[in-house]
């Protein structure tokens, strides 16, 4: 697989060419076990997911709601480690050239040595990282290591982020900007947050990067509504809930998740 091209930019461009938003799926790496996680990831990508976001299991996931906290617990209980995470990405890379983003907490990178960790992510086939608890102001070492390795740094903008801080975030972000449509933690919601279109427009005043929207998006109607105003739509907890519900019959998970993606996208993702 080629490591030289910008897979993230290509994925957003392909979606744009097809008149739709890119569909980004989140799963926790190693949930509920290594082999099932590999099969699930490949099934999601084959079903039309444009960008795969893999959560790095962590014992203290501050930004995650109960669904994703429990996913991290299952993965850790199933024996997930740093080494197995790299192996997971390599296995997915054997089957797919689509972008892979890691959703991580800074201590998981810092504890390995930032430069070494970033280099290993890149060598495994990762395209970008979203480090939840490392704001741009504190990210000098991470940004330098990522630039050297050719890894995108995705930063988060929240509903409460003031315009001057959006400008600061946009200055250092690469890959895309992730707009968190709600205050609080991840999780399925029955209603979509208000003001998403205006928020995306405000972010775009400061950057030419694509803007993807996540947190609380769980139905086909949500995906369609967000897709009309954003460049990308992120769905996580709605997929992770399916994994949680089928841990006793894991062989069914790849097909169940592929069907969910097709239902969420109306079969439009490709």
Indicate the domain borders of the chain. Answer: 7-265
Report helix, strand or coil for 205: coil
Return the pLDDT at 189: 63
Return the pLDDT at 268: 47
**Which whole number is the average pLDDT over 19-44?**
96
Residues catalogued as catalytic: 53, 64
What are the percentages of helix, strand and coil residues in the chain, rounded to 5? 50, 15, 40
- 7-265: CATH superfamily: Aldolase class I (3.20.20.70)
pLDDT over 80 at 187, yes or no: no
Pairing verdict, β 211-214 and 152-157: unpaired
Q: How far lies 166's CA from each of 136, 151, 202, 268, in Å?
A: 11, 21, 9, 31
Return the pLDDT at 64: 65
Reading the block at residue 172, the tokens are: 């250092």
Q: How confident is the model at residue 63 (pLDDT cuts 50, 70, 90)?
A: low
| Range 136-141 contact pairs with CB under 8 angstroms and sequence separation of 24 or more | 136/168, 136/169, 136/171, 136/172, 136/173, 137/168, 139/172, 141/114, 141/115
For residue 232, list its beta bridge partners.
Answer: 22, 212
pLDDT in tens, 157-170: 999 999 999 999 99
**Which whole number is the average pLDDT over 240-268?**
90
Return the pLDDT at 1: 38
The burial of 108, by beta-carbon neighbours within 10 Å (0-12 exposed, 13-18 middle, 19 or more buried), is given as: middle
pLDDT in tens, 87-115: 999 999 999 999 999 999 999 999 999 99
Report helix, strand or coil for 173: coil
**Which whole number is the average pLDDT over 27-56?**
96
Contacts for 141 with CB less than 8 Å, ≥ 6 apart:
114, 115
Identity of the highest mean pLDDT range in 10-19, 51-60, 63-72, 184-193: 10-19
- What's the CA dihedral at 120, 121, 124, 126 to 10 degrees? -160
Return the pLDDT at 182: 72
- On whether the CB atoms of residues 269 and 224 are closer than 8 A, the answer is no
pLDDT over 50 at 183, yes or no: yes
pLDDT over 80 at 270, yes or no: no
What is the pTM for the complete model shown? 0.93
- What's the CA dihedral at 154, 158, 160, 163 to 10 degrees? 40
Higher local confidence (pLDDT), 269 or 241: 241
pLDDT in tens, 123-158: 999 999 999 899 999 999 999 999 999 999 999 999
**Which whole number is the average pLDDT over 188-202?**
82
């Amino acid at each position: 697989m080629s490591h030289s091209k910008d897979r993230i930019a290509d994925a957003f461009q392909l979606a744009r060419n097809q008149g739709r938003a890119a569909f980004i799926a989140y799963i926790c790496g190693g949930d509920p076990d290594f082999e099932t996680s590999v099969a699930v990831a490949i099934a999601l990508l084959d079903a039309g997911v444009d960008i795969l976001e893999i959560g790095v299991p962590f014992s203290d996931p501050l930004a995650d709601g109960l669904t994703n906290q429990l996913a991290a617990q299952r993965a850790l209980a199933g024996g997930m480690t740093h080494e197995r995470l790299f192996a997971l990405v390599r296995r997915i890379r054997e089957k797919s050239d689509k972008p892979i983003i890691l959703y991580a907490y800074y201590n998981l990178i810092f504890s390995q040595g930032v430069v070494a960790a970033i280099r290993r992510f890149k060598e495994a086939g990762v395209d970008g990282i979203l480090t939840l608890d490392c704001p741009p102001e504190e990210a000098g070492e991470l940004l330098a290591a990522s630039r050297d390795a050719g890894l995108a740094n995705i930063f988060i903008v929240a509903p409460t982020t003031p315009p001057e801080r959006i400008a600061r975030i946009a200055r250092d972000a690469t890959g895309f900007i992730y707009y968190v449509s709600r205050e609080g933690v991840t999780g399925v919601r029955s209603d979509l947050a208000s003001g998403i279109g205006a928020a995306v427009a405000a972010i775009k005043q400061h950057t030419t990067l694509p803007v993807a929207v996540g947190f609380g998006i769980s139905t086909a109607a949500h995906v369609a509504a967000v897709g009309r105003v954003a460049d990308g739509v992120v769905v996580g907890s709605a997929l992770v809930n399916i994994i949680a519900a089928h841990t006793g019959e894991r062989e069914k998970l790849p097909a169940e998740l592929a069907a969910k993606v097709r239902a969420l996208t109306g079969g439009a993702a490709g």
